[in-house]
Amino acid sequence: MVRKRKRRRYIPRPGIREYVASLTRQHLTWVCIGLAGITFIFLFAGVFVPRRPFASGLRFFEIRAGESLGGTAGRLAEQGLISSRQLFRMLGRLRGADTRVKAGEYLLRQDQSSWQILSHLLSGEVFLHCFTVPEGASAAQIAAELTRRDLADGDKFLRLVQDPAYSREQGIAGGGLEGYLFPDTYRIPRGISASKMAAMMLGRFHEKLPADFATRAKQLGLQIGKLVILASIVEKEAKAPEELSLVAAVFYNRLKKKMRLESCATVNYVIGHQRRRLRERDLAVRSPYNTYLHRGLPPGAVCNPGLGALMAASHPAQVDYLYFVSRGDGRHEFSVDYQGHLAAKKKYQKR
């Protein structure tokens, strides 16, 4: 019996056209994979790799109120902090930076990546400047320093703290907040509003005010506001801390005897600057603050007293002094009567 041989199935070999098409598809796949890899590397580097990885400097960057994300990205690129404004803008939109970034001044490192910079901006951690108000500074001097350092609008601040209506809103009777802007070191952002600055300083005053201040004012027969005014005069007159309570006693004793205070500090406040020795025409200047002409305390504080002066005014020394004269070394000679005062003046003014 003869077996039939199976016929082999004929499989046609691919032609050149099919081969080229298959090869092209493979190449295109690899090309696409390569392009995707290059794009990923580019995006990764643009987002996570700093533009200047070895730079060690710091740079201030201010986000302006109402500024668009595109405007921020453009200025970051101009300052060399990011490599691509388009990439930063796209990244910012993905993370909601167009609505969440807080206006203010930021301190950025030059070796930060776009991701780190954006995270810093989204954190809202604006840079805080140290602003020190020395004891005895006036509201005008504080305003001038705010303007000089470009931290706030000093003119607006001064108008606000001198506004009687605003001080009444804050629970302070009188013509303004002079005397209640507590001398201290404050950490404030650039561009802080006048109301926030004033509220911060007034809040520090209430925080630092001696606990028995109101009680002592009543015991001394003075309103709290009057005692603050007295403290401001003590602050300007006394140079040595150990003399604060003695100077306070002199003015308190003169008030009790209905004598004019005759404080140079009140006249200096009127003329607007500090004179080491007042002239006759200075002493004659017409103002309710001139205690050489008017009895009692002036209508307002002449500076912003520190804690030491507030303590001294509320706890004057138990002495009978009515006069003091400068010894020229930052200290004073105290006298209980006018004859002793004249002798002290002759002694130390000659020196």
| Mean pLDDT over each residue of the chain, to the nearest integer | 88
CATH number of 58-123: 3.30.1490.480
pLDDT of residue 323: 96
pLDDT of residue 1: 52
Same fold, 58-123 and 128-208: yes
Q: Which CATH class is domain 128-208?
A: alpha beta
What's the CA gap between 273 and 312, in Å, rounded? 25
What pLDDT was estimated at residue 167?
A: 95
Ranges of each domain in the chain: 58-123, 128-208, 213-350
Q: Are 81 and 61 in contact (CB under 8 A)?
A: yes
pLDDT at 208: 96
With tokens 């691919």, the residue in question is 14
- Closest of 124, 130, 169 to residue 146, by C-alpha: 130
Looking at residue 284, its pLDDT comes to 81
Phi, psi of 333 (to 5 degrees): -105, 125
- The residues of the chain scoring below 50 in pLDDT are none
Quick one: pLDDT at residue 39?
A: 57
Q: What is the pLDDT of residue 4?
A: 57
For position 27, what pLDDT does the model report? 65
Alpha carbons 304 and 131: distance in angstroms, whole number? 15
User: What pLDDT digit, counting tens, does each position of 160-207 carry?
Assistant: 999 999 999 999 987 899 999 999 999 999 999 999 999 999 999 999
